[in-house]
Amino acid sequence: MKYFLIAGEASGDLLGASLMEGILATDPAAEFAFWGGDKMAAVAPGMLQHFKDITIMGFVEVLLNIRTIQANMRRCEAQFSVYKPDVLILIDYPGFNMRMAKAARKYNIKTCYFIAPKIWAWNEKRGKQLEANVDLLLLIFPFETAYFKKWKVNAKYIGNPLYDQISTFQKSTNFKIEHKLENKPIIALLPGSRKQEVKRMLPTMLLLAQAYPQYQFIIAGSPSLGEAYYQQFLTQDQAAIIFDETRNILAHSEAAVVCSGTASLETAFMNIPQVCVYAAQPLTYFIASLLVKVKWASLVNLNLNREAVKELIQNNYQLSQLKQEFEAILLGGNKRNKLLEDYQELHHLFQNKNAALLASAEIDKLIKA
């Protein structure tokens, strides 16, 4: 069978790679064409576009780059119309992928949306678009099952590939030696994978590192950005940068400061106490605050339906507040212990469901229907 996948950011690349592995287990002769990243490319050949060259985030930023985005959409549509896949698999990235789902209808290409658009958070009108243009919707968060019953869409909960991956992860035993790290307790800094995120997240994280020289702070670098991009924010040796080893960094850490997104859930799955942070361009944040309907930014809190992880968002993301929350989760006591207990509840919600294999089985059913 032929599969065309579209992932537009690092988290989609990670989950897309897991899905491709599941597809190959079900269909060893599978052929792929995809927009994605290094992790998907490591599974199989077929990359047509790297996400690092197309990722644009934020309402204002999208408006400023609308012509480029439209050109990318036309190019992607042209590629899958010629490739004629048995199924088009859309991975998150809804601003782009919802339009690709509609375009696929012109060519009678079956569509699977993997990682549902977060219409439970904002832009609920996309529910009607899902009904019209998506043949199979694969859900990875337990709470989404009840929500999507309100829409006439073929939705299946298949578990979370990240949970499956982390449950079998083996940390490096020589991590500090391999990376020539100091003999100090490690704190993980996860400032996001996009340039806009790193620009807004990392400087305050580095101020925190400067305030606690007794710890070794490590930035989980995104290979798509490159070391030079991170170095511009380092005024001295506040932190080391290690690329493409986020899980090893977390596995050796006492605590983490994490940009809101998939990384927050990944950190929780690894049982590392965290502070979740986020700040956007002011106008982008203002527009989002008018549209977003959920109480929390962290996927941990969304899935538990309460604040387990402390969130410092926009104007609350200041060094003084970050130090306060950092010390609360780092130094033991009630805050750290309660957070670790909440993580156990999160584990119970997800458990191991072999998500990639279940997803590939559902896609196989769709193709053969």
- Least confident segment among 5-19, 46-60, 68-82: 46-60
Cα-Cα end-to-end distance for the chain? 14
Q: Output the pLDDT for position 283.
A: 75
Q: Output the pLDDT for position 261.
A: 86
pLDDT in tens, 32-68: 999 999 999 999 999 999 988 766 555 445 555 567 7
Q: Output the pLDDT for position 334.
A: 87
Model confidence at 9: pLDDT above 90 = no
Residue in the block written with tokens 């060094």? 319
Q: Output the pLDDT for position 57.
A: 54
Mind listing the domains of the chain with CATH numbers? 2-159+353-368 (3.40.50.2000), 175-350 (3.40.50.2000)
Kindly give, in sequence order, each residue whose CB lies less than 8 Å from that of residue 141, ignoring residues fewer than 6 positions away: 160, 299, 302, 303
The vertex-130 CA angle with 67 and 294, nearest 5°, equals: 85
* Mean pLDDT on 4-16: 92
Q: In Å, what is the CA distance from 20 to each residue of 31, 162, 193, 256?
A: 10, 14, 21, 30
Q: Is the torsion defined by CA of 222, 111, 24, 31 positive or negative?
A: negative
Q: Output the pLDDT for position 352.
A: 73
User: Do residues 359 and 26 touch, judged by C-beta distance below 8 A?
Assistant: no
* Mean pLDDT on 344-366: 93
At 284, list the tokens: 């982008």
Which of these, 102, 79, 114, 148, lies nearest to 8 by C-alpha position?
114
Q: Output the pLDDT for position 78.
A: 97
The structure's pTM equals: 0.86
At 163, list the tokens: 């949970």
Distance CA 176, CA 252 (A): 9
Mean pLDDT of the chain: 91
pLDDT in tens, 322-347: 999 999 998 767 899 999 999 999 99
Model confidence at 122: pLDDT above 60 = yes
Q: H-helix or E-strand containing 36? A: strand 31-36
Q: Is the torsion defined by CA of 215, 170, 91, 131 positive or negative?
A: negative
Burial class (CB in 10 A: 0-12, 13-18, 19+), 227: exposed
Q: Output the pLDDT for position 291.
A: 62
pLDDT in tens, 247-305: 999 999 999 999 998 899 999 999 999 999 999 877 776 776 666 677 888 999 999 99
pLDDT > 70 fraction of the chain, expressed in percent and rounded: 93
Burial class (CB in 10 A: 0-12, 13-18, 19+), 64: exposed
pLDDT in tens, 204-248: 999 999 999 999 999 999 887 889 999 999 987 789 999 989 999
Distance CA 109, CA 359 (A): 18
